[in-house]
Chain A
Amino acid sequence: MRSGHPRRLAAIALATAWAAFHIPGTAQQLPEVHGNFSADGQYYNDDPDIGAVPPPQQWGFNAWGNVVMTMGRFQAGLRLESYEPSLLGYPAGTPYKGSGIGYRYINYHQADLDITVGNFFEQFGQGMVFRSYEERYLGVDNAMDGVRVKYRPLPGLYLKGVMGRMRLAFDDGTVKGEGLVRGADAELSISELDSAWSHNWNLILGGSFVSKYQTAASQLVTQPDGSVAQLEMPANVGAWAGRINFTSPRWNVYAEYAYKINDPNRRNNYIYKPGQGLLVNATYSTRGLGISVGAHSYDNMLYQSARNAPTPFDLNINFLPPLTKQHTYNLPATLYPYATQPNGEVSYQGEVFYKFKKGTPLGGKYGTKIALNGSTAVGLDTTGVDLLTDSARTGYRSSLFAGNYDIDGKYFTDLNVELRKRVSETWELALTYLYFEYDIDVIQGKPGKPLVFADMVVLEGLHNFNDRTSLRFEVQHLWTKQDLGNWATAVAELTFSPHWFVAAQDQYNYETFGSTFIKDGKEVPAERTHYPIGSVGYIRGGNRFQVNYGRQRAGIFCVGGVCRQVPAANGLTVSITSTF
């Protein structure tokens, strides 16, 4: 971090944002109104060759608009949403339908106090015991509905308290989960305690406690021998976390530990074992060089505010940060993306960015950038405890960072290197190689699917014809003997700054090695398949209008280690977004 730490930086940035909305103290203070709008409509064609089945309405439509009114120390916000019906594969968890109010709040803030009533998003530390957040285009939204108070009793000490219920789904308005979530967080930033602080390093300490409440109930569970046991579910389930962060101009070292008391739920087979997690990362950087290493281990840390939540994407109280790199090139990003395994994983990551300076042998005339990244995730090495004889019903024995390094414990490996270089005044090239090992069975929850070994190469080029007109292209290839076999992808994007772009893409699954897919309800051998798609976009200020037509491959769409499956589709998509 070049200056300060994320918490404080976010606060500064927010203050800047608020300042932007305020008319400085005039005699008559007028409210300011801002907002945004987003709509995505898709008309679906029937396309059995890729397994695309249109919904009965023939189309999908997701839209929402936010209005935020600010006056002095007060702010109020409202979001209306409409899913008539929702796009195929949207959202990640329990379905959304109908139109209505999705989010509303009132807020009062002054220098040291901030109170919100209604909906809000909040995160403690990196989120290991509490994170309420949204990724609207992914269909993730676990907004709280209740009360939040943030208070700074003295410079450098930040206190937060939250209470409320989380958004589960949408049915002509937000549908909330049953469980009540309550939490408190304290953070101490040493360098802010004394305004005379002259060191350029800082130490930040934080601690959180969160508890969920759901009516106590009996749960019938099928035992390994086929008998049925009646278990008593706890009403209150608490979790706590502690964190430490050291920052200096070159270093940033962060560690967070979280612990959750017994939380029997549908996804851990109603065991009473406590959950825990530890994450550590360290970065060192200076001009032209950046190094990052990280490790984490999570054990039984899925923490949902309903013990029988319909899907793993619903009502998550916490967020377990991923270590794996989120790729942006289409094939690695959507065929084999990793998703954090909250019930048990050990993961390591290392990354180096380096720039060979201009005028050096490897830097040449314009400099050369290299990025090396590697990450791996394995399951925990567990020893089962017999559920029939163990009255505590702990399920298994395990230790953090004791991974299962056998082939059946391997979840994911990603080794990649990228070289990026401006080769002339008008050309820039990037070459990337990636190697993946990917367990579809565990990561996508598809039992019987193989461990995939894949190699990928991507060449990207950017050519500037003049100040305003550019062509960007990508050529991608993926080799694997497993799953769907080999893929080739080409992308071309012509841009006319600042308003227009035209893009075309084709993905070609040209060597299928006997893989199968579902056509008209039957499993048939996969054939060579093209997935062409074209786009035209117009951007003006804060408004964007885009039209796509073509085939979309069934795949996975991820943000921050959280993923949703997108079914195959063929059709016309129209998108409008606006910020005002």
Chain B
Amino acid sequence: MARVAPYVNGQDWDYEFFLDPNGDLKRALNVNNIPHTFLVNGKGEIVYQHNNYEPGDENELYQKVKQAAGK
């Protein structure tokens, strides 16, 4: 758990990260296996989700973010 911050910084990733030490968030969102992506709009509604990650999934996510932002 404590090794997450050095890992993220060591990768030079520029985004915020949060920890879910006992899986409470995972349960609240009914996630079976990770990674699992949720896109939440300004009203706090889940407008898109995707299980797993494959290279290129970020392109679809980017389109969905633009849609959610109305752009």
Q: Do A and B bind each other?
A: yes
Residue of B9, B31, B44, B56 with most chain A CB atoms under a 10 A cut-off: B9
A14 to B52, CA, bound (A): 21
Select which of A12, A283, A291, A472 is within 8 A of B18 by beta carbon.
Answer: A12
Min distance, Cβ A127 to any Cβ of chain B, angstroms: 8
Report A-chain residues with C-beta under 8 Å of the C-beta of B66: none
Q: By the criterion CB–CB under 8 Å, are A470 and B33 in contact?
A: no
Interface presence of A542 (CB below 8 A): yes
A468 to B20, CA, bound (A): 31
Report A-chain residues with C-beta under 8 Å of the C-beta of B25: 10, 13-14, 17
Chain A minimum-CB-distance residue to B3 = A292
Report A-chain residues with C-beta under 8 Å of the C-beta of B27: 66, 121
Q: By the criterion CB–CB under 8 Å, are B51 and A355 in contact?
A: no
20 CB contacts below 8 A, A to B, read A1-B5, A6-B19, A10-B24, A10-B25, A20-B29, A22-B44, A35-B30, A123-B22, A284-B6, A288-B12, A292-B2, A294-B2, A351-B3, A470-B55, A472-B55, A498-B57, A542-B36, A544-B52, A578-B32, A579-B49
Report B-chain residues with C-beta under 8 Å of the C-beta of A537: 52
- CB contacts between A and B, total, < 8 Å: 178
Report A-chain residues with C-beta under 8 Å of the C-beta of B54: 470, 495-498, 501, 539
Give chain A's interface secondary structure class. Answer: strand
Comparing A130-138, A199-207, A385-393, A397-405, the segment that makes contact with chain B is A130-138
Report B-chain residues with C-beta under 8 Å of the C-beta of A470: 54-56
A351-B3, A539-B50 known; A10+B18 contact, CB < 8 A: yes
A20-B45, A254-B2, A292-B2 known, 17 other contacts, Cβ within 8 Å: A14-B25, A16-B40, A19-B44, A66-B30, A68-B30, A121-B22, A283-B5, A292-B3, A353-B6, A355-B10, A357-B12, A367-B12, A369-B11, A467-B56, A537-B52, A539-B51, A543-B51
Q: By the criterion CB–CB under 8 Å, are B22 and A290 in contact?
A: no
Select which of A133, A351, A468, A579 is within 8 A of B31 by beta carbon.
Answer: A579
Q: By the criterion CB–CB under 8 Å, are B28 and A17 in contact?
A: yes
Select which of A20, A34, A501 is within 8 A of B44 by beta carbon.
Answer: A20
Min distance, Cβ A387 to any Cβ of chain B, angstroms: 39
Interface presence of B1 (CB below 8 A): yes
A24 to B3, CA, bound (A): 37
Give chain B's interface secondary structure class. Answer: loop
Chain B minimum-CB-distance residue to A21 = B28
Report B-chain residues with C-beta under 8 Å of the C-beta of A543: 51
Report B-chain residues with C-beta under 8 Å of the C-beta of A16: 40, 44
The count of residues in chain B whose C-beta lies closer than 8 Å to any C-beta of chain A is: 47
Q: By the criterion CB–CB under 8 Å, are A283 and B10 in contact?
A: no
Report B-chain residues with C-beta under 8 Å of the C-beta of A3: 16
Interface presence of A354 (CB below 8 A): yes
A369 to B11, CA, bound (A): 7
A353-B10, A470-B56 known; A290+B36 contact, CB < 8 A: no
Interface presence of B70 (CB below 8 A): no
Chain A minimum-CB-distance residue to B48 = A541
Q: By the criterion CB–CB under 8 Å, are B28 and A18 in contact?
A: yes
